[in-house]
Copies of this chain bind each other. A is one copy, B any other.
Amino acid sequence: MSKQVGIIMGSKSDLPIMSEAAKALEELGVSYELTVVSAHRTPHRMIEYAETARQRGIKVIIAGAGGAAHLPGMVASLTSLPVIGVPILSSNSIDGWDSILSILQMPGGIPVATVALNGAKNAGILAASIIGTFDPKVAEQLDNYKKDLKQKVEDSARDIELKGWKEGLDD
């Protein structure tokens, strides 16, 4: 059966960041595929990946890249699926500004849904929320995930209130 989300990255060195998207999708029960596609080193592979994605059953593409990050925007130019861009603070990036701006500032007509610098986990959650627009089970998973986040904050708050912050600093 086909996967719902395609995760791609410009280089295998982006895997430690981009694997967070995969983990989030697994946690939320959304199927995905993951591979390396480089806009600059494998442009034809990128074109084929983007142009065949919809017919392969993919619903959302998550693309991560650093520096002059062209992968998310070029994929968005080649498909009408929603494309989520993850700016990566790679070794050749200037504090992440290049990655962010070359993904975010797309021209009119070709949007990329950009998340925070190194925000691959949020890219996974965002992809799930898109799947959740037509799959109520995924929407429910997301609601549970939000409840967990809330619970954790409340737990740590109660913990600090009970023990005092000086204790909290030592945890």
Contacts and interface: CB of A to CB of B under 8 A. Distances in A.
Interface residues of A, number: 95
Contacts of A122: 106, 108-111
Contacts of A98: 101-102, 104-105
B34 A43 contact: no
Determine which residue in A47, A108, A130 has the highest number of CB atoms from chain B within 10 A of its CB, and name it: A108
A63 interface: no
Contacts of A129: 80-82, 111
A70 B39 CA distance: 10
A34 to B, nearest CB: 5
A80 B139 contact: yes
A84 B126 CA distance: 10
**Which of A43, A82, A84, A105 has the most CB atoms of chain B within a 10 A radius of its CB?**
A105
Q: List 8 tightest A-B contacts by C-beta distance, closest first.
A: A102-B102, A113-B113, A111-B122, A80-B142, A134-B134, A98-B101, A111-B126, A36-B157
Interface of A: 10-12, 15-16, 19, 22, 34-45, 47, 54, 59-60, 66-70, 73-74, 76-78, 80-82, 84, 92-98, 100-119, 121-123, 125-126, 129-134, 139, 142-143, 145-146, 149-150, 152-154, 156-157, 159-161, 165-166, 168-169, 171
